[in-house]
Amino acid sequence: MEPRKFRTLFISDVHLGSKAAKADFLLDFMRHHEADTIILVGDIIDGWRLKRSWHWPQAFNDVIQKMLRKARKGTRIVYIPGNHDEFLREFPGTHFGGVEVARQMIFEAGDGKKYLIIHGDEFDVVVRHARIVAYLGDWAYDAAIAINQVLAFVRRKLGLPYWSFSAWAKLQVKHAVNFIGEFQRVVVEEARRNEVDGVICGHIHHAVMEELDGIRYINTGDWVESCTAIAEHFDGTFELITWQKIEEAAPAAEPTDDEALPPFLAAPRSGKRAA
Ligand SMILES: [Mn+2]
C-alpha cells in the first residue's frame, strides 16, 4: 500500500518514555503517511517520566529514527516542545538532525489561512482558575500566564513533575468536560489575540476539529490512548486520522519476510521497512 501524501502532519503527546506510549502504532502510522512538513506539537518525549524511571524500548528508538530519516530525506520537521519535553524549550531556533525547535509558530495552510500552533500547557493556570480570571479581566489573564511560567520553573527546580492536565481532568471526572471546554475557549481566545484563523494544539489528549466563535480549534489528540493525528491536505483542508485499527493498514494475506512479527509491525510488501 502506497503511503498517503499530505501537505502537513501534526502529531503530539506521544510521551516516549512512558510505558503507555503507543510507539508501534505511531511507527505504523508513519509508514503509511507522508508529508512535506511534520509538526510535532509537544510532549513527544516524556522527560519527566524518564527522570522517575527509565523506560526506553527499541520501538521508541524506531520512532525517533524514522523521524530523523524523514528529515534527512527532505521532510521539514518542526518540534514545538510541550511541558513534558520542556527541556527543549531552552533551545528555540536550534536544529538537531534536521529538526527545527520552535517555542510556537504561526502556520500558513495551503488555502492561505493562518493558524497559531502551541502545545497548550501555557494556559493551565488560566483554565484551572477560569472563573476568577474571567471575573478579574485582562490583567488577571496576563498574570495567570506569568504564574504558569513561574510555577513550571519552580516545580522543575524542585524536581517535581509538571502538573498534568489530562491526569487531573480525569480525576475530576464530573467536571472534566467543562475543563476541556474551558481549555478550548482559552486557546481560541489566544488565537484571536494573534489575529489568526485558527489554533492547532495538543496537551489535553482530546482530538477534535471544531469551529468556536469563528475560530477554528484543532487538537491533535495523543498516542497514549487515542492514537490520533491531524493531516492537512494540499488544498488546506484538515482531516483527523485515528490509527488504532492497524490490521487495516497492513493487509495480512500476503506473506512477507517479517512474518514472525505481529501483523501490525509487518511492513506491507510495497512499503519500505524502516531501519
Ligand atoms: Mn502536555
CA of 41 to the centre of ligand 1 (A): 9
For residue 8, the CA-to-ligand 1 centroid distance in Å is 21
User: How many angstroms separate the alpha carbon of residue 198 from the centre of ligand 1?
Assistant: 19
pLDDT digits (tens, 9 = 90+) for 181-200: 889 999 999 999 999 999 99
**CA 268 to ligand 1 centroid distance, Å:** 33
Task: Reduce the DSSP state of residue 159 to 3 states and report it.
Answer: coil
Asked which of 53-67, 129-143, 156-170 is least confident by mean pLDDT, the reply is 156-170
Distance 54 CA to ligand 1 centre (A): 19
The mean pLDDT value for 216-239 works out to: 96
Q: What is the pLDDT of residue 271?
A: 37
Contact, 231 vs 241, CB < 8 A? yes
Give the Å distance between the CA of 255 and the centre of ligand 1: 40
Determine the pLDDT at residue 52: 79
> What structural domains and CATH numbers belong to the chain?
4-119+200-249 (3.60.21.10)
In the chain, where do the E strands start and end? 4-11, 33-40, 76-79, 95-96, 99-101, 105-108, 114-117, 198-201, 208-212, 215-219, 228-232, 238-242
State which of 40-54, 137-151, 162-176 shows the largest mean pLDDT.
40-54
pLDDT grade for 245, boundaries at 50, 70 and 90: low
Ligand 1 centroid–CA 7 distance in Å is: 25
* Strand-strand pairing, 208-212 and 4-11: unpaired
Bigger pLDDT: 126 or 265? 126
**DSSP string computed for 99-151:** EEE-S-EEEE-TTS-EEEE--SGGGHHHHHTHHHHHHH-HHHHHHHHHHHHHH
CB neighbourhood size of 148 (10 A): 20
Sequence-distant (≥ 6) Cβ neighbours of residue 223 within 8 angstroms? 11, 13, 14, 15, 21, 22, 23, 25, 26
Instruction: Report CA 89 to chain centroid distance, whole Å.
Output: 15
Radius of gyration (C-alpha) of the chain in whole angstroms: 19
More confidently predicted of 204 and 246:
204
